[in-house]
Amino acid sequence: MNTMFRGRGWSFGFRTTIILYFFCLIVLPIFGIYTQSLSLGWMPFWDSVSDPLAWKAVLLTLKLAVIATLINMVLGTMIGWVLIRYRFPGRSFLNSLVDLPFALPTAVGGLLILLLLGPNSLIGSLAASVGIEIVFHEPAIVIAMLFVTFPFVIRAIQPLLEELDKSEEEASYTLGASKAKTFFSVILPTMLPGILSGAMLAFSRGLAEFGAVVLIAGNIPGKTLVASVYIFGEIESNNAQGAAAVSVMLLTLSFLILWLVNLLQARRSGI
């Protein structure tokens, strides 16, 4: 009886610790942002979120995050396919490099982009000679978003490709279907939930990127100023309420995206 009581007590204490940890680390900061955004009332909140510079920053962030996500969907699917379906020298090393953006500080990623594509670099100077500006313009922001969100689609589709029953492909070939028709009829539907969930996570991550973007964006209001850098500027200007108000917009959008991801995963598990 004492052993059972101690076991239940330990289990209760463990659950309580986990819940408190989650509450302090996740719930309280989120609640604090929403509270801070409304700390001066509804009118200041509305003035902050309807400020033209804030809207331009948010809309620019959304536009560039969508572009980066679409590129990631295509390239991530192709890279994930190659890493799973083909065997070649250096495959394991390349597969391990996929997670590098997760381990590397994003500011270092921004510095790498600056050194590789900046005005004084070979690629940057060649691009400038034909009238293409990369760093301190929108293309650099897209590249930074691509860098930090690179692993999401790849890691989302790899388990699906590994679990795919190859007998379905063989049956398709036996029935006379071409490789292209087999891919779009048999393989792609299996990969699609992973592509979509990975893309939505990449989009949500791109919205919040700061470290890689702040070094290479130029941060020109209305042109290259993204939402995360705008929020940082509001904090530096001692406008915590305005920064929180814009943060709420991004946070709410991220909640919706995560809800959609969970819905997709639940449906996939149900299937």
Residue 249, C-beta contacts closer than 8 angstroms, at least 6 positions apart: 49, 58, 227
The pTM of this model reads 0.81
Instruction: Give the architecture (CATH level 2) of 42-270.
Output: Orthogonal Bundle (1.10)
SS3 (DSSP) at 51? coil
pLDDT for 11: 62
pLDDT along the chain (271 residues), means of 10: 53 72 75 75 78 86 92 91 85 86 84 84 82 83 90 89 75 72 79 86 86 83 85 84 83 81 67 51
